[in-house]
Structure 1
Amino acid sequence: MPLPWRRLRVTTPHRFLTAARQIRPLHARPPPILLALQRARLASVGRVQNRGKKTKASVKLDDLPQGVIPLEPLPLENDVKKPLPQVVRQARSNMQRFENCVVLTRVGGFYELYFEHADEFAPLLNIKRAIRLFGPRDNPVEVPMAGFPFFQLDRYLKILVQDLNRYVAIAEEFPNDKAGLPGQLMHNRRVARIITPGTLIDENFMDPFTNNYVLAIHVEDSVQESRHPGNSSISIGLAWMDLSTGQFFTQYTDLSDLPSYLARIGPREIVLDEDLQTSKDHGIFSVLAEDRHLITYSSPSEVQAVSDWAPMLESPVSPKLEKTFTAEEIAAGSSLLQYIKARLQGSKMKLQPPTRQLDVMGIDKNTLRALEIKKTMRDDLFTGSLLHIIRRTVTKGGARLLDNWLSSPSTSEDVINSRLDLVAFMLVDELLRERVMILLRRCHDSHRLLQKFAFGRGDADDLLALKSTVYATQELVATLEQDSEGETCIHAMIARINLDGPNALAQRIKDAVDEEGLVQQHRLEDGEAGEMQALAQAVVSSEGSIEDTNILPKGARKKKPTGLREYYSDDSDVWIMKSGASPTLTGLHGELAALAIEKEDLGKDLKNRLGAESLTLRFTPGMGHICHVKGKDMKLNLSDVRNVGSSKSTRSFHQPEWTKLGQRIDQCRIHIRAEEQRVFQSLREEVILNIIKLRRNAAVLDELDIACSFATLAEEKKWTRPTLNKTCAHRIVGGRHPTVEGGLEEEGRSFITNDCFVGDVQRTWLITGPNMAGKSTFLRQNALITILAQVGSYVPAEYAEIGIVDQMFSRVGSADNLYRDQSTFMVEMLETASILKQATPRSFVIMDEIGRGTTPEDGTAVAFACLHHLYYVNQCRTLFATHFHDLTDMVTKEEMEGVGFYCTNVVEDEKGNGFMYDHRLKEGVNKRSHALKVAKLAGLPDEAIAVARKVLDGHVRSV
């Protein structure tokens, strides 16, 4: 919570600047007058030659290079020859030290870009660029500059970091111990944090519904083997982290499984050892190149023992768990922690201890895309995806957890059934579910709030959010205990919630933080915009140049500087801590109240002694504590006072008694602010002491949120509870596609259900039928039903009994990758090869139209080879759709008894003029694809259709 800077009592602008900097606010937000004065002082350092017009980027973001900036900074020696202000020298020094970053330098109330950074990024950020001249008039140094107000930092970080994938170094102002010496600035400006796409903490532009992971990959040192892309046995250690929540994971894998992990984690940034830069033919690059991952190369780190990670963790890793980490995981974890530490420039943090995501289904990126689990395949949109259809969560943490669950469904029968039990309980008691969801809506995003406190960033609003969450959790526990009636699943959830410490913390926050004062403070802040514009205009008009008016927001240039008296009123103190928050505060507020009475008495006494009825006691930044009179009282003969200002209708003067009393009032207010800061800091420390309990409680709330979400979904959609077992079979009756069904319902149509009994007698289903008759939909719906079941959700079917699947594979649809010189058929074969190499007897594979990118003869051969391999070698459950009808004869000839034949069809009217699709799957073979019917529907000319029909009927002879 910012201190009320407007109530600092000093007599000159310079003293105002000095006094304001001596107190650190709860957020680093200076007062409007300080912003304006500092900006005006900077303007007076140099002379503006050309500020430039507002510009817009003329290129698309996707066309720009990503990652580290390719700029070559000018050498410092070129600048030393000419006299430059120290602010500019500090900025240049930071640009050279962090040459791969865009450097934003804090200067008063603005963040500035200099030199080539201003030239490069001012157009992209759509901000003004100026050229300032320094040095002698006959041979000045030109310095390009651009800047924006500090409160717009998130807006421009979003462009730089999220849209352009740039690394940004933030150079903040720190008090200079040598500020009193000649030529020394009041502040040193050093980089306090480096922001990259994977190291966001609490930026407002972060997606609240998705984790923001940075992933470190450590590759074993067998360099010769790793140079062969086909070598999939390379050992790899993974470590990934979300700095905004403190979640930290590690995993051991090999190169062949890396794409699956990348799809599951979805990292915004990948950290590799810089030694790999010299090995561009390393097999890992063929994997990472698929999705244009943002790669950061970090200097090799010293591999630390897991016990050495403790200073950065909220609690040490247990010795039992420490022994389970592999050398590759430890190396990746050490590299990640070193990278994070460098980016945070030594900031303290409390991360969660590293854990593994064990017992989860493997889903590669092609399957995630083909099944449209998180985004649609055609438009890459969230709307229309499986996640969009099923998400009914009411908390941000619950939404992120659901996102993670969909990427990594569980393979543990106990975990799945415990989730389903909770959903079943919530589904039965609708009234309880509604009460739980109401209480969950009162809970805030605890994971990210707590991480802000772990970084020392939490403010008074965050404290109130934590208090509200703890009280809502209390009511939630009481509600569940009252209505659970011995339900084991509910008691297990309640047992995981620990409110002993959090209850005391919430009570202390309630007793300390003044919510009403905080609301008033926010109202004052919301009203500061106009005052800031007016104050800045006043200072720019008096101290700055004409061009400096360009820095003001629109409307400020016409606004007159009014409201100083109201802005610095003595009677509008707003405090964020209650007077009883500490004994010291109680005493100080009593003293301030007594001083207020003394001020009132002094004002009355001075009116009587001086005979001035209009006299008021005031404070202004420029004149300090003054007595103010107006009208006829201006003509009073006051010999013992010193006039400091007058106008046609008013007069201001210093009066010793008021000056001394005002200084006492100022001192008391400063002491109150300092004590508020101390109380606030102690609350921050108490949050850290309870951070483990609060995080564990938040995890339970997320799971309850998902359970309520699934129950609501099941009730809306009439879904049923699946049965999970350890067999290798699917028994689905009346299955439906969750997203297609919703689209049909919007059009007033019904979905045709289908059964699927694959894995018992028939391990493979070979499906034939016409185009657009629903083969692909059938394949996808059974894959989605499987994923939903293993996530712990009810499923769109009348009955579902599913043997737990270890890996889900999909070969549906394809696109070329001409950038990597890969045709559609090549992409299809690469994906198919990956499936044939990795699928196990417990996997589930759906394949659609294998071999269609080449000649019919070659396509048939490839399709049969894949089917044969899946049947005899992988021995997994497979749904195989094809238009190569010869496959059915080849399977029969091969005597593959475990392959079942199923088909869809079209139904034609008696006259043959019309037809409709029969989407219901039936046993048998359909050797007609009815392609001409589809061609006719698409609008091919009748003449072309007639020729095609003759070809099919064999009526065209060779010439």
Structure 2
Amino acid sequence: MPLPCRHLAAVAPRRFLTSTPRSRPLHALSPCAALRHAPPPSQAWRAAQERGKKTKATVKLDDLPQGLIPLEPLALEPDTHKPFPTVVRQARSNMQRFENCVLLTRVGGFYELYFEHADEFAPLLNIKRAIRVFSAGEVPMAGFPFFQLDRYLKILVQDLNRYVAIAEEFPNDKGNPGDLMHDRRVSRIITPGTLIDENFMDPFTNNYVLAIHIEDHEQESTHQSARPNASLRVGLAWLDLSTGQFFTQSTDLSALPSYLARIGPREIVLGEDLQASKDHGIFNVLAEDRHLITYTSPSEVQKVSGWSPMLESPLPPRLENEFTIEEIAAGSSLLQYVKTRLQGSNMKLQPPTRQLDVLGIDKNTMRALEIKKTMREDMVTGSLLHIIRRTVTKGGARLLDNWLSSPSTSLEVINSRLDLVTFMLNHELLRERVVILLRRCHDSHRLLQKFAFGRGDPDDLLALKSTVYATQELVASLEQDSEAEACIQAMVTRINLEGPNELAKRIRDAVDEEGLVQQHRLEDGEAGEMQALAQAVISSEGSAEDSNILPKGTRKKKASGGLRDYYSDDSDAWIMKPGASPALERLHADFAALAIDKTNLGEDLKKRLGAESLTLRFTPGMGHICHVKGKDMKLDLSTVRSVGSSKSTRSFHHPEWTKLGQQIDQCRIHIRAGEQRVFHQLREQVIHNIIKLRRNAAVLDELDIACSFATLAVEKDWTRPILNKTCAHKIVGGRHPTVEGGLEEEGRSFITNDCFVGDVQRTWLVSGPNMAGKSTFLRQNALITILAQVGSYVPAEYAEIGLVDQIFSRVGSADNLYRDQSTFMVEMLETATILKHATRHSFVIMDEIGRGTTPEDGTAVAFACLHHLYHVNKCRTLFATHFHDLVDMVVKGDMEGVGFYCTDVLEDKDGDGFMYDHRLREGVNTRSHALKVAKLAGLPEEAIAVAKKVLDGRVRSV
């Protein structure tokens, strides 16, 4: 009976590619040829290579070049008269067919690397590189136990951005002996953007692969400036294979950076024909964040209806005409690419949707406001997402991540979300009950997608059952305590449990949870089958040094113990209950009868042979044996065939036990086959209900976020915002959500401020000292806007906000020396984007425009930007500056709708002691108090004294 293997990541293919894939794993380093080739190996990598065979090396990932390192293929057969073994030839063949992938070949209980792959990646994976000597020549090789596949895939795919081809063992139809018993074929290509259920995936973030199609890009001259052509139409299509979510969008090249920031793709797919256009504007966009780029052969633009075989349900005919030609082309390219990665495996995705009515947040604003990651450490901790996340489900966490990237501009959507939050806030006991039930729910989106790929296992069935039962109780609780609230009724009516209830009952009646737990003990215990199998393979095929690859503590364990326990007649762990089907019920009855026969035979043989210690056993090496020990070893057993003995035990075959044991084995095999039939029936029932289950999961995610926002509002004393269609902000007592949290940890309180911009005063010009809170004030009002349009309560005493279509920020300082751009150049590029795209309904925050050049030039640039925003864009603007001459220019510049506000410093009588006054007041502050900040920073007193003299001289000269 074959050993169970629950840790294989590959899927048995239905068909295979017969030629090298045309896609290339490339890392976008620049707009030109650097996109196609990674830099040469580092010194640390070369040093690791030179340490010789059968050595171990530790290399820091930060020292390694990312992306593809070109490899020089080694000759396959130096001597044609002495060929390499079949497994080596198969590996070389697969390496040639999938030339840009790291090949992992399954050989028994191991995944192995050969030739140049072993040379390169053994040091990176920190595993042993060995040299196997064959008659045809030497072959470098390295390997690891199959149950460590996820560990090494994480390093290769997620850390090093490599593509990995998995070659699995398949029975060879020819049935020849030796290596020819198995045909090793690539069953899946794993890339950073095409992960499905790998254990190292981030459960709180979607893993998107994005395809981009550009309209008529051939017409753009390769001799023109590398600056992108903003008018080019772009089609986007992106999906998460782990959840089946599929989206499309049409935009233009100038807006592409904002979409990339919103989507956050792990991999980008472009047409191969773009490689010839080295100076195409898209490479400027993609080089900004060093995106991983894959080139594929351009696919024919087919109709959306052509996608139907890959979708779980067809699109309504009325929706097919809504997609643009660019969207359809991008979608076709994406699906073709994913299909080649999966090597013909079944794939069922959700129908594509478009993200409409979304608040635009460009890349710079996403980073400057630290919405999902901090600017300095690039970590979630400390970001807005980290501060507000109180979700208890993984699906809810991913949905919140998406909402923060794409706040809504629909009043109906926003108010429906706020109504739900308000209800949960006012019904504390119900909220607590809902949270408890949500904690019992599993990640249905990714579980269901596993079943859509034919990958689900009995544990996943139990997880779905638990989720369905929790959903039943949740619906009952909402219906009982809803008090006829429309928002709750709307959620309840979206949940369909008719089919899922039957599925859950079928799973409950079929799957044996205790048997499953017992099986896991056999697989994961100290003498578990996996480690025992690895040790057995090393004992029979490897060397003493090969045992070093085993996990710590495994080497001392004997393989026979784990395998004996697995094959023991007393260790049967049934996955399905006997009553799961009529056939299983009959088989279990037969098995019980055979167990009685075994007991009776054992007692009978004890009496006949006079051996009280006799036991009936099974071992993989000797089959069905009788085992005696102690004084019974001296009995006359000449009538039976002895198969093994030691100082204290003896084993022998007995024909009656051999015959009965074979009957037990056959019955056991039939039970396993019957369990498989029941399992496949359950899996089909899951697929039959997958649409309902997905929609129910979406409702659970929204309820999770509503409870999360309600809990947050209680903890932080936040208030419900009022959204309308005006162009004004009215915020009383506003606070910065992340800064306030940091101050609370230090036992300090946050100074609140009001903001009334866009009504009487369309623009606020904010002045004041360094470190007095101007930037915090600007950012907090942008964050309050985002939270309000996500559907959350906000950190303010009162908030009334006119819907914002786009938020722009120009704050902070940065350069881009890689692209030969100074701090001032970066500032001007970002400012130009704002002035070109801000509309009357946009909200703009600008901090210290023009500071990267001379005061005179900076003042001129700052005034020009403020003038354009006021007269041309006519948007709500918060504009902070240290250029005090700007005030007079604004007053004289026919800009009556500009309000002047400032922060200040409170000094003692001597002027030595001071404290910041973060509360905004109406007026202008012409003192920046830079020397106070310099003193706080620790500048020497001599330097401070010189600065005072210079400052005093300037003041007297004025």
TM-score in terms of structure 1 length: 0.93
Query: Is 1:605 paired with 2:635?
Result: no
Corresponding residue of 1:194:
189
Shift of 1:80: 5.0
Query: Is 1:952 paired with 2:954?
Result: no
Corresponding residue of 2:198:
203
Identify the range of structure 1 (487-496 vs 380-389) with the bigger mean alpha-carbon deviation: 380-389
> Any conservation in 2 of the 1:115–1:145 contact (CA below 8 Å)?
yes
> Any conservation in 1 of the 2:237–2:331 contact (CA below 8 Å)?
yes
Q: Which runs of 5+ in 2 are unaligned?
A: 11-50
> Any conservation in 2 of the 1:226–1:234 contact (CA below 8 Å)?
no
Give the % identical residues.
84
Residue 54 of structure 1 aligns with an amino acid whose one-letter code is: K
> Any conservation in 2 of the 1:111–1:150 contact (CA below 8 Å)?
yes
Corresponding residue of 1:615:
614
1:105-504 to 2 correspondences below 5 Å:
105-135=105-135, 141-180=137-176, 185-225=180-220, 227=222, 229-504=227-502
1:821-860 to 2 correspondences below 5 Å:
821-860=820-859
C-alpha distance 731-226 of structure 1, shift in aligned 2 (>3 A): farther
> Any conservation in 1 of the 2:78–2:137 contact (CA below 8 Å)?
no
Corresponding residue of 1:862:
861
Q: Secondary structure at the match of 2:514?
A: helix
- Name the CA distance, whole Å, in 2 between partners of 1:319 and 1:622: 62
Q: Deviations over 1:167-226 (max 9, x none)?
A: 11111111110123x666211111111111111111111110000000000011242337
Q: Secondary structure at the match of 1:787?
A: helix
Q: Secondary structure at the match of 1:733?
A: strand
Corresponding residue of 1:34:
none
Query: Is 1:582 paired with 2:577?
Result: no
C-alpha distance 887-474 of structure 1, shift in aligned 2 (>3 A): same
Residue 482 of structure 1 aligns with an amino acid whose one-letter code is: Q
> Any conservation in 2 of the 1:735–1:781 contact (CA below 8 Å)?
yes
Q: Secondary structure at the match of 2:202?
A: coil
- Name the CA distance, whole Å, in 2 between partners of 1:294 and 1:874: 36
Corresponding residue of 2:516:
518
C-alpha distance 267-556 of structure 1, shift in aligned 2 (>3 A): closer
Residue 442 of structure 1 aligns with an amino acid whose one-letter code is: R
Q: Secondary structure at the match of 2:706?
A: helix
Residue 208 of structure 1 aligns with an amino acid whose one-letter code is: P
Shift of 1:128: 0.5
C-alpha distance 587-714 of structure 1, shift in aligned 2 (>3 A): same
Q: Which runs of 5+ in 1 are unaligned?
A: 1-7, 9-19, 31-48
> Any conservation in 2 of the 1:367–1:808 contact (CA below 8 Å)?
yes
Q: Secondary structure at the match of 2:730?
A: strand
- Name the CA distance, whole Å, in 2 between partners of 1:717 and 1:114: 58
Corresponding residue of 1:700:
699
Corresponding residue of 2:805:
806
> Any conservation in 2 of the 1:50–1:131 contact (CA below 8 Å)?
no
Corresponding residue of 1:15:
none
1:638-787 to 2 correspondences below 5 Å:
638-787=637-786
> Any conservation in 1 of the 2:844–2:877 contact (CA below 8 Å)?
yes
Corresponding residue of 1:817:
816
Shift of 1:78: 4.7
C-alpha distance 339-956 of structure 1, shift in aligned 2 (>3 A): same
Aligned residues: CA RMSD: 2.0
Q: Secondary structure at the match of 2:354?
A: coil
Q: Deviations over 1:503-539 (max 9, x none)?
A: 0000000000001111111122222546765676567
- Name the CA distance, whole Å, in 2 between partners of 1:835 and 1:561: 67
Residue 909 of structure 1 aligns with an amino acid whose one-letter code is: D
Corresponding residue of 2:18:
none
Shift of 1:652: 1.9
Q: Deviations over 1:391-414 (max 9, x none)?
A: 000000000000000001000000
> Any conservation in 2 of the 1:728–1:877 contact (CA below 8 Å)?
yes
> Any conservation in 1 of the 2:109–2:534 contact (CA below 8 Å)?
no
> Any conservation in 1 of the 2:163–2:189 contact (CA below 8 Å)?
yes
Residue 74 of structure 1 aligns with an amino acid whose one-letter code is: L
C-alpha distance 307-864 of structure 1, shift in aligned 2 (>3 A): same
Shift of 1:658: 1.1
Shift of 1:862: 0.8
Corresponding residue of 1:17:
none
- Name the CA distance, whole Å, in 1 between partners of 2:470 and 2:535: 47
> Any conservation in 1 of the 2:523–2:529 contact (CA below 8 Å)?
no
Q: Deviations over 1:719-754 (max 9, x none)?
A: 000000111110111111111111111222111111
> Any conservation in 1 of the 2:417–2:791 contact (CA below 8 Å)?
yes
C-alpha distance 748-551 of structure 1, shift in aligned 2 (>3 A): closer
Corresponding residue of 1:83:
83
What is the number of residues matched between the two proteins? 913
1:887-906 to 2 correspondences below 5 Å:
887-906=886-905
C-alpha distance 300-534 of structure 1, shift in aligned 2 (>3 A): closer
- Name the CA distance, whole Å, in 2 between partners of 1:859 and 1:618: 89
C-alpha distance 858-690 of structure 1, shift in aligned 2 (>3 A): same
Residue 185 of structure 2 aligns with an amino acid whose one-letter code is: R
Q: Deviations over 1:561-596 (max 9, x none)?
A: 663654432122110100000000000000000111
Q: Deviations over 1:846-891 (max 9, x none)?
A: 0000010011111111111111111111111110000111111111
Identify the range of structure 1 (634-643 vs 461-470) with the bigger mean alpha-carbon deviation: 634-643
> Any conservation in 2 of the 1:66–1:294 contact (CA below 8 Å)?
no
C-alpha distance 878-51 of structure 1, shift in aligned 2 (>3 A): same
Identify the range of structure 1 (186-195 vs 632-641) with the bigger mean alpha-carbon deviation: 632-641
- Name the CA distance, whole Å, in 1 between partners of 2:57 and 2:665: 46
> Any conservation in 1 of the 2:728–2:802 contact (CA below 8 Å)?
yes
Q: Secondary structure at the match of 1:671?
A: helix
Q: Secondary structure at the match of 1:954?
A: helix
Q: Deviations over 1:402-458 (max 9, x none)?
A: 000000100000000000000000000111100000000000000000001111111
- Name the CA distance, whole Å, in 1 between partners of 2:6 and 2:682: 12
Q: Deviations over 1:792-819 (max 9, x none)?
A: 0000011100000001100001211111
> Any conservation in 2 of the 1:118–1:145 contact (CA below 8 Å)?
yes
Q: Deviations over 1:758-797 (max 9, x none)?
A: 1111111111111111110000000000000000000001
Shift of 1:25: 6.0
> Any conservation in 1 of the 2:767–2:882 contact (CA below 8 Å)?
yes
| Structure with bigger RCO (C-alpha 8 Å, 6+ apart) | 1
> Any conservation in 2 of the 1:51–1:547 contact (CA below 8 Å)?
no
Q: Secondary structure at the match of 2:882?
A: coil
Q: Deviations over 1:470-522 (max 9, x none)?
A: 00000000000000011000000001000000000000000000011111111
Residue 757 of structure 1 aligns with an amino acid whose one-letter code is: F
Corresponding residue of 1:45:
none
Corresponding residue of 1:507:
505
C-alpha distance 702-675 of structure 1, shift in aligned 2 (>3 A): same
Q: Secondary structure at the match of 1:291?
A: coil
Identify the range of structure 1 (267-276 vs 941-950) with the bigger mean alpha-carbon deviation: 941-950
Shift of 1:924: 1.1
Shift of 1:942: 2.5
C-alpha distance 317-546 of structure 1, shift in aligned 2 (>3 A): same
Residue 289 of structure 2 aligns with an amino acid whose one-letter code is: D
TM-score in terms of structure 2 length: 0.93
C-alpha distance 29-617 of structure 1, shift in aligned 2 (>3 A): farther
